[in-house]
Amino acid sequence: MSSCLLNATVCAGRRVLAALTLGVLTSGLTWAAEPLDDTALSDTWGQALLSLNTTNYQGMDFTRLTLGADISLSANFNGMRLGEYNWSPRNATGADIDLGTLRFGRSDGSAAQRTVSITDPYFEFVTTGSGSSQQVVGMRFGFGGISGDIGTTMNVVSGSLLIDAGAAGTIDSRNDTLGGKRWDGTTCVSTATCTLALSQIGGLHAGNADGASRDFFLAIQNQAVNYPSLVAGLAAPDTAQAGVWMNWRDRLSALNTTGTVPPNVGKGP
């Protein structure tokens, strides 16, 4: 499917286009409904644009709504702060997620680098209890896969991050003394594992020769939640702490370690 650039529009997918094309090609014909036997049914397939899945994992119920779409995204955000509240063990900048800049795509490279490719975006709600005692305790938003260049200035991130920074080593929030909560990359159980501050990374490249990055999600919850893995072969994500939490550990590398964020400006007329 040829994907479309997202500014404010989402392209639904190739199956919708195929259905419309088939309707045009057969508009002059008359069809009569006929029952299908088991053999014919086994040769027939289809997929809804939206799918709903429910599961129980470690005593919590998860309800996930997935949009079966391929999306190309070019977008810029500045001053993104999520989860602003007092947390005495480490207030840092006063937010769980503090990104000075976030740019999906870049305009200083090839045509392919102008956008970031996203597949199967989803929302998942977490509930506990049953009947009248059932309550929502969290939710997450994520992608089945994401690939491309994302320019960013990360001041503080609460979450589980694993970034290949090349010669500078590996940045892993599991080395943080407080488990990744409001981490700026500089506080580790060993100074040898704190190779860079997060703010020194000017951007991230998602995906590699093996495929897209597969475990990105952004979650909010009022208690610690163990989200199930959505990808066969990947371990379950680290426990998401209360507040806003980002998970991103699969096939992720730093664009640079100088803090230089690539430009992302629109094409001229």
5-19, 107-121, 160-174, 184-198: segment of lowest average pLDDT: 5-19
What pLDDT is recorded for position 39? 73
- The CA-based angle 179-183-206, given to 5 degrees, is 95
- The CA-based angle 132-133-138, given to 5 degrees, is 120
pTM: 0.81
- Asked whether the predicted pLDDT for residue 28 surpasses 80, the reply is no
- Asked whether the predicted pLDDT for residue 237 surpasses 50, the reply is yes
The sign of the CA dihedral 191, 225, 79, 266 is positive
- Asked whether the predicted pLDDT for residue 235 surpasses 90, the reply is yes
φ/ψ (deg, to 5) at 121:
-65, 150
- Asked whether the predicted pLDDT for residue 134 surpasses 60, the reply is yes
What pLDDT is recorded for position 47? 60
- 27 or 244: whose pLDDT is higher? 244
Mean pLDDT for the stretch of residues 131-156:
97
- Asked whether the predicted pLDDT for residue 19 surpasses 50, the reply is no
Mean pLDDT for the stretch of residues 211-219:
98
What pLDDT is recorded for position 26? 39
What pLDDT is recorded for position 266? 87
22-26, 52-56, 84-88, 222-226: segment of lowest average pLDDT: 22-26
What pLDDT is recorded for position 41? 59
What pLDDT is recorded for position 191? 82
- What is the chain's Cα-based Rg? 22
- Asked whether the predicted pLDDT for residue 101 surpasses 70, the reply is yes
Confidence of residue 85 (pLDDT cuts 50, 70, 90): very high
- Token digits for 22? 């088939």
Distance CA 93, CA 158 (A): 11
Q: Encode pLDDT of 247-265 as tens digits.
A: 999 999 999 999 999 999 9
Distance CA 109, CA 131 (A): 54
Mean pLDDT for the stretch of residues 137-156:
98
Distance CA 39, CA 201 (A): 56
- Concatenating the DSSP letter of every residue in 118-177 gives EEEEEEEEEEES-GGG-EEEEEEEEEEEEEEEEEEEEEEE-EEEEEE-GGG-EEEGGGBT
Q: Encode pLDDT of 160-204 as tens digits.
A: 999 999 999 999 999 999 999 999 999 999 888 898 999 999 999
Q: What is the mean pLDDT of the chain?
A: 87
Mean pLDDT for the stretch of residues 203-219:
98
Distance CA 246, CA 62 (A): 18
- Those residues whose C-beta lies under 8 Å from the C-beta of residue 257, and which sit 6 or more positions away, are 165, 166, 168, 196, 200, 201, 202
Which residue reads 């989860």 in tokens?
A: 83
